[in-house]
């Protein structure tokens, strides 16, 4: 969810009473009891929180304490003396990201104090927000080869599928394949992998290349873009080990890049 979209939300009579739902994408509230319960859960579990502002993402921190007026946060090591509105981003295990919209109060050197949240925004569990990626981001599915000598002879790892990434999220990826290179797209519900993602944060520079174990095909169809035929394929990620952490790192950096563009 983009930072600007979060900061445009406003409390009202409906949010004061309970949750207000934005379709099946997210819900938000300014109800003090709900917000207090959420803060208490975070404090108890020592939930990692990050502070977001335009062009800034803090190092991980935790909530030390809270009351009905303010929240005390362990001061991030990269705190740049901001003021005004801030967003606290956090995530409970097994759930997508949630946010508190708040305002800076003071800095005592070891702790930051922010106001009691204006709003709590929670992404719906079934929804992962897609992040558009810059040109040059690729998805490759290598072929299984018989031996290392075959790889060396070809000079590169042969691919079973390859495409240009349109967007991705913590839940999956959408990419386009050229019919002239691949006679047919992968079948619906097929599991393919490993998936090699070649990603950029902006169009100027490669960010990283890493693998995700497997993906399940949830959409596979022919489409037309600028009067040219493409296969559009969407995969749901099947993540293992530290793959989610690496993917989140990219999504977070890309969100920051988009917020800079919006400025």
| DSSP conformational letter for 61 | B
Q: Which residue has the tokens 């992962």?
A: 128
Residues with Cβ < 8 Å from 13, sequence gap 6 or more?
none
d(CA 65, CA 164): 46
> According to the model, what pLDDT value does residue 249 have?
85
> According to the model, what pLDDT value does residue 104 have?
97
| Cβ neighbours of 101 (radius 10 Å) | 22
Q: What is the pLDDT of residues 52-80, one digit of tens each?
A: 999 899 999 999 999 989 999 999 999 99
Q: Residue 44: pLDDT band by 50, 70, 90 thresholds?
A: confident
Q: 1 near 22, Cβ under 8 Å? A: no
Residue 153 has pLDDT above 50, yes or no: no
> According to the model, what pLDDT value does residue 169 have?
87
Q: Out of 4-13, 142-151, 216-225, 246-255, which region has the weakest mean confidence (pLDDT)?
A: 142-151
Q: What is the DSSP string of 181-235?
A: T-SSPPPTT-EE-PEEEEEEEETTEEEEEEEESEEEEEEEEEEEETTEEEEEEEE
pTM for the predicted model, two decimal places: 0.54
- Note the Cα 201 to chain centre separation in Å: 13
Q: Which residues pair with 50 in a beta bridge?
A: 89
Burial class of residue 103 (count of CB atoms within 10 Å of its CB; 0-12, 13-18, 19+): middle
d(CA 164, CA 229): 14
- Note the Cα 64 to chain centre separation in Å: 26
d(CA 51, CA 67): 19
d(CA 176, CA 194): 18
More reliable by pLDDT, 145 or 214: 214
1, two tokens: 């969810």
| DSSP conformational letter for 155 | T
Walk me through the domains of the chain, giving residue ranges and CATH numbers: 3-123 (2.30.110.10), 131-262 (2.40.10.220)
Q: 161 near 186, Cβ under 8 Å? A: yes
Q: 155 near 121, Cβ under 8 Å? A: no
More reliable by pLDDT, 240 or 155: 240
Q: What is the pLDDT of residues 172-231, one digit of tens each?
A: 999 999 999 998 999 998 999 999 999 999 888 899 999 999 999 989 999 998 889 999
98: nearest Cα among 108, 88, 84, 109: 88
Q: Which residue has the tokens 């810059």?
A: 134
Q: What is the pLDDT of residues 94-128, one digit of tens each?
A: 677 899 999 999 999 999 999 999 999 988 654 56
> According to the model, what pLDDT value does residue 41 have?
87
């Amino acid at each position: 969810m983009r930072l600007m979209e979060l900061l445009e939300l406003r409390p009202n009579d409906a949010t004061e009473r309970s949750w207000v739902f934005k379709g099946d994408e997210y819900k938000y509230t300014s109800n003090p009891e709900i917000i207090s319960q959420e803060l208490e859960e975070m404090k108890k579990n020592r939930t990692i929180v990050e502070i977001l502002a335009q062009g800034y993402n803090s190092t991980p921190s935790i909530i030390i304490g809270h009351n009905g007026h303010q929240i005390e946060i362990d001061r991030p090591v990269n705190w740049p003396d901001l003021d005004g509105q801030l967003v606290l981003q956090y995530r409970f295990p097994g759930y997508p990201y949630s946010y508190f919209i708040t305002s800076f109060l003071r800095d005592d050197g070891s702790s930051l104090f922010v106001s009691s949240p204006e709003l709590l925004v929670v992404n719906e569990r079934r929804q992962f927000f897609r992040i558009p990626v810059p040109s040059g981001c690729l998805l490759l599915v290598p072929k299984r080869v018989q031996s290392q000598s075959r790889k060396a002879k070809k000079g590169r790892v042969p691919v079973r599928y390859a495409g240009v990434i349109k967007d991705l999220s913590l839940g999956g990826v959408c990419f386009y394949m050229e019919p002239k290179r691949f006679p047919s797209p992968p079948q619906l519900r097929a599991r393919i992998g490993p998936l090699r993602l070649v990603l950029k944060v902006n169009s100027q520079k490669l960010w990283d290349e890493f693998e995700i174990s497997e993906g399940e095909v949830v959409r596979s169809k022919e489409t037309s873009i600028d009067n040219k035929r493409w296969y559009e394929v969407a995969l749901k990620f099947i993540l293992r080990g530290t793959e989610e952490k690496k993917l989140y790192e990219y999504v977070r950096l890309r969100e920051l890049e988009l917020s800079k563009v919006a400025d």
